[in-house]
Amino acid sequence: MFKELDPLLHSQLRLAIMSLLLSVEEADFVYIRQKTGATAGNLSVQIEKLSEARYIDVRKFIDGKKPRTVCRITKTGIDAFQKYVDALKGYIG
């Protein structure tokens, strides 16, 4: 029987964000935008959703005069990602 795919992760941009963050220690909003090619507005919304689910930890601060947003995947996020990949394997066989 197929396991249900986590709807929060089964979205192109959110999955891209999670995959990127899984591969690095932490990443700036600008870096994620460069790598995913998403618009700033859409990216903000998806980051907010992942943060609300506690899949990622978002740190906002002022660096000199520049506002910065730095994201990092959480233990909950890693577990959810692992479950998502396990479920995917079931579909692809």
**Min separation Cβ 28 and other proteins, Å:** 4
Residue 68 forms beta bridges with which residues? 61
If binding is defined by CB under 8 A, does position 10 make contact with other proteins?
Answer: yes
User: Could you say which residues in the range 24-83 bind other proteins, by CB under 8 A?
Assistant: 24-28, 30-31, 34-36, 63-64
Which residues, including other chains, have CB under 8 Å from residue 36's CB and lie 6 or more apart? 13, 16, 17, 20, 43
Count of alpha carbons within 13 Å of 66, Cβ hemisphere only?
7
Selected binder of other proteins within 22, 39, 42, 45 (CB under 8 A): 22
Query: Which amino acid, 78?
Result: I
Q: Which is nearer to other proteins, 24 or 45 (CB)?
A: 24
Tokens, residue 17: 């964000």
Judged by CB under 8 A, the number of residues near other proteins is: 27
If binding is defined by CB under 8 A, does position 4 make contact with other proteins?
Answer: no
Q: Is 27 exposed, middle or buried (0-12, 13-18, 19+ CB in 10 A)?
A: buried
The residues of the shown chain that bind other proteins, judged by CB under 8 A, are 5, 10-12, 15-16, 19-20, 22-28, 30-31, 34-36, 63-64, 84-85, 88, 91-92
